[in-house]
Structure 1
């Protein structure tokens, strides 16, 4: 069977430093046999020629101009990813979105399109955030909140423009919005090892997350007992049917009754995945913890649903 194509989604608001970061990574020697897809909002590809000059041997670049990839050019993205999945030359890639893109739409498109869902794996969703501008952008632009909330890894750029106390305050604000993300600091010219690596499983999730920030709420549910698999499946189906647009992220490690192996659950809007994590550190008697990130999620309703899904004590 052909190995699935591993795609990294690189997102972040206008001026955050996505292209600078990508350019430095491509020229650092860490990028080998990688395809780079560049999405420009306008009709002219500005970043493509810049990146093309830094591509090493075995790498290739593809441009997707004329609109934001999450809406106007979805079919162009499907065609490009299909071509890459068919290729034997590269088996991994980076998709740099426009600064206005909603990564949730891209994740959903890849997961549901029959031409892609069995051939493309999302290895990581990486968001670049300018440390000197992100606080104001969070207050002004809903796109920024979605980009941060959906990220697996957040790269805090331009940290050299702030004091260490200011950087720590920004990082704390971002962590409150998305407690599930790995956060790294980055200054131009100092590309860190592994920024574009696939995201590995975090064996623990926050158990006390409960924040409201910029219209997005974050809360965690600790499950004292294992879940009934069938009841949870029904509850999850209902959540996706009723609240998929509000559910930016759900992630956690839980236990199901009758299964001794913990399961890592991950949901973004209407896209749900699960897999076994044999080394997870969870109490054998408990059900684990789930963290929710969303807009106007009915927290109490979800808590009641999960209570009904747990096995009797």
Structure 2
């Protein structure tokens, strides 16, 4: 399958700078999909001209009015084998959810493309402002966040920016950068939970945080869980809340298993796999991220998954 990386972030945060660095440093054959609102593609003019194939989707947001064009583009690309990876740079007002749906809700595209990372670039100097809803979604869906322009803020402001991001997405990996430069390799598959995610989940305590209407709820249990009950629980929650659930990340201790069971859900899409290594941690940890979530109801559902329930 062809890997796809989604690059999103706030207006002026540094997405184009990141794309320039990516194109300059890569040894891969990249196909870059760039779009910007308006009839003139400003981002395309700013990106350094490289020996890379580039498809531009202008005249609208990639996840709104021209989503059908993105789907059509993927269909056209499915039969080609001239590139190693696709990178999509969205507008600063784009919601990642419809792009994820384009790939995963289409049976044909789902077998030919694999979303490997959702990277969000944020401006550390702007994190104290009221976030628009798309900006909240960009943080909530992210696997990796580049905290850019850290040289422009003091330590207290930087700490507040980290706290705000962790309130929206407790397990996201945050990398501090200046002009998006840093020591990181983002070619790996981060869309699925990694060992780093497991460690972060293991450090979380039972509770919840909220920013505006978005809430991150952490639930834990020391009792082994039944696999079929966990699957049913997650599916029922996704069906009940529909688009109000943005992310689920969970490390599950199943009855009779030594390896942890890793569950992830994004916008009504669920995936699960066993971790590569056995774990000594006896807890199961679920982190639900969304809005209008009922913590007590989620806790009751999790309790019903316990082996003795």
* Normalised TM-score (structure 2): 0.91
**What displacement does 1:104 show?**
1.6
**1:30 and 2:32 equivalent?**
no
User: Is contact 1:11-1:147 (8 Å) kept?
Assistant: yes
SS of residue in 2 equivalent to 1:212 = strand
Unaligned 5+ residue runs, structure 2? none
Q: Distance in 1 between matches of 2:239 and 2:86?
A: 32
Match of 1:173 among 164, 175, 196: 164
SS at match of 1:86: coil
Moved more, 298-307 or 161-170: 161-170
Tell me by how many angstroms 1:278 deviates: 2.4
Distance 1:31 1:136, change over 3 A: farther
Question: For residues 256 and 96 of structure 2, what CA distance do their matches in structure 1 show?
Answer: 36
Count of matched residue pairs: 302
Deviation at 1:287, TM superposition (A): 5.0
Identify the match of residue 303 of structure 2 among 294, 307, 310.
307
The secondary structure found in structure 1 opposite 2:108 is coil
Structure 1: gaps of 5 or more residues: none
Aligned 1:89-104 pairs, distance under 5 A: 89-104=82-97
CA distance in 2, matches of 1:71, 1:11: 14
The alpha carbon displacement at 1:232 in A equals 2.3
Q: Deviations over 1:9-28 (max 9, x none)?
A: 1111211111111112212x
Kindly tell me: are residues 229 and 76 of structure 1, through their superposed partners in 2, closer, same or farther at Cα, counting changes over 3 Å? same
Deviation by residue 1:69-101 (Cα, 9 ceiling, x = unmatched): 112111211122233332211121210011111
Q: CA deviation at 1:256?
A: 2.4
Structure 1 distance, partners of 2:87, 2:183, is 17
The offset of 1:148, in angstroms, is 0.4
Aligned partners of 2:254, 2:167: CA distance in 1, in Å? 29
The residue aligned with 2:209 is 211
CA distance in structure 1 between the partners assigned to 2:270 and 2:113 by the alignment: 15
1:198 equivalent among 189, 193, 196 = 189
Give the conservation status (yes or no) of the 8 Å contact 1:253–1:280: no
CA 1:189–1:225 in structure 2 vs 1: closer, same or farther (change >3 Å)? closer
Q: Tell me, what secondary structure is at the counterpart of 2:262?
A: strand
* Equivalent residue number for residue 120 of structure 2: 127
Structure 1 residue 288: Cα displacement: 1.5
Q: Matched residues in 2 for 1:260 and 1:39: separation?
A: 46
**Following the alignment from structure 2 to structure 1, what is the Cα–Cα distance between the partners of residues 225 and 180?**
48
Which position in structure 2 is the counterpart of 1:76?
69
Shift of 1:52: 5.2
Change (3 A) 1:179 1:87: same
Retained in 2: the 8 A contact 1:11–1:96?
A: yes
The CA deviation at 1:241 is 1.3
* Structure 2 residue 42 is matched with structure 1 residue 51: no
- 1:15 corresponds to which of 5, 12, 15: 12
Separation (CA, whole Å) in 2 of partners of 1:241 and 1:18: 34
CA RMSD of aligned residues (A): 1.9
In 1, the alpha carbon distance for the partners of 2:226 and 2:154 equals 49
Cα separation, 2, equivalents of 1:190 and 1:292:
31
